Amino acid sequence: MKRSANRLMARFVLLCLAVIFGAIAVAQAQRSFQSAKTAEEDVAAEPDRVDGQVQPIPLAGSDSIPTSGDASWGTGGNRAYGSAADSATVSPQFDDQNAGSYAANYEEPAPTTPAPAAPSIKTVANEVDDTGYAPMASRYSDSATEVDDYASAPVAPAASAGYDYGDASQYESGYSAAQYEPSDYSAAPTYDEPEGQAAMLAPPTTAQLRMDPQSTDSQYSAAAETPAEMPELEEPTAPATESPAPLDNYTDNYAQPTGPSGFGQPSYDTLPPRSDNAGAARLQIREDEVQPIEAPPADNPMPDNRFPRAAAQRESIGQGMQIADEGAGKPGPAELEGPQTPSLTVEKLAPQEIQVGKSATFTIKVRNIGRIAAHEVILRDVVPQGTRLVNTVPPANMSADGELLWELGTVKPGAEVTAQLNLMPLTEGEVGSIATVSFQASASARTRVTRPVLSLEHTTAQQVLIGNDVIFSIKLTNTGTGVAEHVKLEENVPEGLRHSAGNELEYEIGNLQPGETRHLELTLKADKPGMVDNLLLASADANVSVEDRCQLQVVAPQLQVGIDGPHRRYLERQATYELMVANQGTAAAQDVELVAHLPRGLKFVSTTNAGYYDQQKHAVLWSLAELPAEKMGTVQLVTTPTEVGEHKIRFEGKARMNLSDAVEHPVTVEGLAALLFTVTDTDPIEVGGKSTYEIKIVNQGTKTATNVQVLGQVPAGMKAVNGDGPTRVTIDGNRVYFEPLARLAPQSDTTYRIHVEGLEAGDQRFRVLVKSDELSEPVTKEESTHVYSDQ
């Protein structure tokens, strides 16, 4: 019983509140009707001034709410959003195009008859979303707001702002949307539009309410405070009004907003695709029309390049990048010349506290505080974490990653646009999101285009001797129609030339007037022989440049010497050498001097071509006044080796211009090892008698004999007894071996002895073999011994 009584009491309180606010709405409608009549008579009046600032002329068929100094509606009620909405500036003042495009949406039409109890559906251009609810009418959309069946008078924004748009769970089934008749636009005033901009529809002629931007009262009054528990409303709908005409097409002009903290963010490099909706500010949440975008990083609320369609059409232009296509732009009207300073502020309002399961409204206000219009204004926001989006007013496009986009079109100076998000809190805690705004601005300038053209020519001698100066004569002319500014010459010194300042030279000339010519000289030094291709570059501002090439040959003599002759000789055997000198360069070699330095182991014998032997220097000298290019000469030198060993003949050639060349010719002088040996014995001997063979070896040559070895072969009629000599002896049957003698110096000798015994009578022949490293074959000798018998 107690619970039923509480329910009845709650319903009674709700009914009382509805009656009270219905009465307030009727009073407001009457006041609006009176103001509308006055406004129709003052359409062409001059703008009013409030606090020294020009205020827009009220539209025909609308009432203006008084400023904060006058009586205002909704001031006595409790605000549904508390103090957080006190500083909200609600709606802009229009004095130009925006008045025509947004007036009908800012000011809600006042129905002349109460809405019927049953829901009534009236559709214009299929603007009702897929939930079955039509969003609140505003300057952004075509739909009428949802109100209760007591709203027979015009509904003020303060009374409707607290409702949860499009959320059926927040209404009783007995409530239905107010039914509005289509507005008559035939009597609406027209506005002059700038060239190239679509005309906007005028506001309806029915009495309407207009929110004062200077009012200090919040648009959220106590009437918007919805009970915590309300029966669900089954399929409420509302008719939609005709949307305004579309805005201009997109342009590629962007402007960066500037100003204090809280201003709108500068426009991105790319913009989203245009909505297909007919109205300039009429947007719907239609995912099938939204282009996919890349999700921004979590720590960056405003990522660049969000809109792939625009990004695909635009490329980042780096420094020095060449644009292939010619531009299509033309000078704009005079009003676009000079500083263009649109500046947007964005403010987001939220209730101080909301409850889980009860929808709440977040309001975003965008205002142009600059002096010119901001074009292609785009408002962005995301659904806060921990909430669910019920609807938006006006409807917004939703990107693939859940970002909400409002295309606001053009915002004139002093104008303000508002967007609302109706959210359903799902979890307890702090919720919120960041709203950003971007826009475009247009500016124009004109000037006279001239073109400076540089002509460059430089010349020099065709051939330059190495070491001499290379002088380039330079002629630089401006053959164009404009001044060539900051003209400079650049020289990258090629190989074969040099300059004391380095290889990269630059000379500042200054400005060249049209038709002006400068004559200059550049001096370099010929450094290396060969063909030289010199490139000279002249450049000026505006990417004006020209280059010129000049070829020359750096000529130089090139001296080369050589020796042809034996590399191995024996002592005291003459050797003849041929010494050569050649000029393989491109110029004659002057004052050529040749010197052959002889080693100590070679003795000078003779030479040709008037050579002179210097005994003190042990060298042979020749002189030549000139050796033409590509010519060669030879001289002969005869020497005798006098010392064994390794020797070198050094042959040098020198000429003027520090030309020189040298070569060394190695000579190995060897001695000849000539071994001579003799064999003697005691002869004859009787059978059983002893005899000794003495072998004497003499080195009669000039070279040490090495590894001298002796082998004795005893005949069968004799027997080897023993042996002695400079090395150890070994007897193997009839063979007697002596180990090799390591060295036998020239003119030295050695003796070996082999003792034998006669066994048989007869003529016995003893054989000796001598060999060494210097002998290719062993030398053999035989000694005959007569053995006789006494019997």
pLDDT in tens, 128-154: 343 333 333 333 333 333 333 333 333
Q: What is the pLDDT of residues 372-388, one digit of tens each?
A: 888 899 999 999 999 99
From 107, 113, 105, 106, select the one nearest 150 (Cα to Cα): 113
Q: What percent of the chain has pLDDT over 70?
A: 62
From 470, 472, 477, select the one nearest 456 (Cα to Cα): 477
- Bridge partner list, 560: 582
Per-residue confidence (pLDDT) for residue 137, from 0 to 100:
37
Per-residue confidence (pLDDT) for residue 258, from 0 to 100:
38
DSSP letter string over 147-187?
Answer: --TT--SPPPHHHHTTS-TT-GGGS-TT--PPP-PPP--TT
Question: In a 10 Å sphere around its CB, with 0-12 CB exposed, 13-18 middle and 19+ buried, how is residue 98 labelled?
Answer: buried
Position 195 pLDDT exceeds 70? no
For residue 426, the SS3 value is coil
Position 419 pLDDT exceeds 60? yes
**Regarding predicted confidence, which is higher, 305 or 540?**
540
Structure tokens that stand for 31 in this block: 């006041």
- Bridge partner list, 489: 507, 538
The reply to whether omega before 557 is within 30° of 0 (cis) is no
Q: Give the pLDDT mean for 513-535.
A: 95
Confidence at 236, pLDDT banded by 50, 70, 90: very low
Position 15 pLDDT exceeds 50? yes
Position 270 pLDDT exceeds 70? no
Position 120 pLDDT exceeds 50? no
Position 509 pLDDT exceeds 90? yes
* Exposed e or buried b per residue across 771-785, where buried means at least 16 C-beta atoms within 10 angstroms of its C-beta: bbebeeeeeeeebeb
Confidence at 30, pLDDT banded by 50, 70, 90: confident
* Exposed e or buried b per residue across 365-401, where buried means at least 16 C-beta atoms within 10 angstroms of its C-beta: bbbbbbebbbbbbbbbbbbbeebebbbbbbbbbbbee
**Regarding predicted confidence, which is higher, 527 or 202?**
527
Per-residue confidence (pLDDT) for residue 574, from 0 to 100:
92
Using CA atoms, how far apart are residues 643 and 647, in angstroms rounded to an integer?
Answer: 9
Q: In what order do the strands lie in the sheet with 631-641?
A: 559-564, 575-583, 631-641, 602-607
Confidence at 789, pLDDT banded by 50, 70, 90: confident
Using CA atoms, how far apart are residues 485 and 512, in angstroms rounded to an integer?
Answer: 7
Q: What spatial distance separates the first Cα and last Cα of the chain, rounded to whole Å?
A: 178
Using CA atoms, how far apart are residues 498 and 486, in angstroms rounded to an integer?
Answer: 26
Per-residue confidence (pLDDT) for residue 533, from 0 to 100:
96
Per-residue confidence (pLDDT) for residue 486, from 0 to 100:
96
Q: What is the pLDDT of residues 154-181, one digit of tens each?
A: 333 333 333 343 343 333 333 333 333 4
If phi over 0 gives left and psi between -120 and 50 gives alpha, with beta otherwise, what is residue 234? Answer: beta
User: What Cα–Cα distance (Å) separates residue 660 from each residue in 421, 560, 598, 609, 628?
Assistant: 94, 8, 19, 21, 15
Per-residue confidence (pLDDT) for residue 322, from 0 to 100:
60
Phi, psi of 512 (to 5 degrees): -120, 120
Confidence at 34, pLDDT banded by 50, 70, 90: low
Position 355 pLDDT exceeds 80? yes
Q: What percent of the chain has pLDDT over 90?
A: 42
Give the torsion through C-alpha atoms of 73, 77, 81, 84, to 10 deg. Answer: 70
Position 218 pLDDT exceeds 70? no
Per-residue confidence (pLDDT) for residue 624, from 0 to 100:
92
**Regarding predicted confidence, which is higher, 181 or 14?**
14
DSSP label of 143 = B
DSSP label of 259 = S
Position 616 pLDDT exceeds 90? yes
Q: What is the pLDDT of residues 762-783, one digit of tens each?
A: 888 999 999 998 888 888 998 8
Q: Give the pLDDT mean for 678-690.
A: 88
User: In order of start, what are the domains of the chain with their CATH numbers?
Assistant: 454-554 (2.60.40.10), 559-670 (2.60.40.10), 675-788 (2.60.40.10)
Position 453 pLDDT exceeds 70? yes
Confidence at 262, pLDDT banded by 50, 70, 90: very low
Position 481 pLDDT exceeds 70? yes
CA torsion sign for 150, 156, 158, 164 is: positive
Question: Tokens 């949802």 label which residue?
Answer: 146
